[in-house]
């Protein structure tokens, strides 16, 4: 439980700090976040209750801080696709939970990244009045976004890279911790 709370604190802090300092010199880091990897890997390695709650609580807490910083309302129609997409990442993790080999987990990470991108940008297209409600407007939401902001494909690139990076890091840490714990458990059993 302590590790899960620490993971939550790190994810929230990382997202908030990057979100607040995400202008100027940090522009290239937009959407480089561990949340989708936490959702996916949490569903694989954590108890089910934590697997569902941890990423959603992390997103909500970080949304509180970021929306306050940018003077944006917390509850808007655009938050629903974000939470739905993150929940989909949890569902992908639960689906691969029993056979969590690295290639399968990384494949699920790619699927989660693409789904998150399409779902959240479609939500923005539907909610943002500056997008034409046509196929061309939807394409603009998926590829270029709104004028004055980085292209949405840059956000997707960063999301995909961060999802793969943090997923591989999480899986690697779990593999190392299992190797460290296994000999200690055997030694404790031999001493008993």
| pLDDT tens digits along 125-137 | 999 999 999 999 9
pLDDT averaged over the chain?
A: 85
pLDDT at 7 over 90: no
Q: What percent of the chain has pLDDT over 70?
A: 86
Q: Which residues of 32-49 are buried (b: 16+ CB within 10 A; e: fewer)?
A: bbbbbbbbbbbbbbbeee
* Cα 150–Cα 154–Cα 158 angle in degrees, nearest 5: 125
The two structure tokens encoding residue 184: 């200690």
Q: What is the DSSP letter of 28?
A: G
């Amino acid at each position: 439980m302590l590790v899960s709370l620490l993971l939550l604190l790190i994810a929230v802090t990382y997202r908030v700090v990057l979100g607040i300092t995400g202008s100027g010199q940090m522009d290239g880091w937009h959407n480089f976040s561990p949340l989708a990897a936490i959702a996916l890997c949490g569903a694989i390695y954590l108890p089910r209750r934590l697997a569902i709650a941890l990423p959603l609580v992390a997103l909500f807490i970080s949304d509180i801080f970021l929306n306050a910083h940018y003077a944006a309302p917390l509850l808007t129609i655009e938050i629903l696709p974000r939470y739905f997409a993150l929940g989909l990442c949890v569902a992908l993790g639960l689906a691969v939970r029993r056979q969590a080999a690295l290639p399968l987990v990384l494949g699920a990470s790619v699927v989660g990244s693409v789904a998150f991108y399409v779902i959240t940008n479609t939500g923005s297209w539907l909610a943002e009045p500056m997008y034409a409600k046509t196929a061309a407007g939807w394409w603009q939401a998926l590829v270029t976004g709104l004028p004055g902001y980085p292209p949405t494909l840059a956000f997707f690139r960063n999301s995909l890279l961060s999802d793969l990076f943090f997923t591989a890091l999480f899986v690697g840490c779990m593999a190392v911790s299992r190797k460290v714990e296994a000999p200690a458990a055997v030694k404790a059993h031999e001493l008993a």
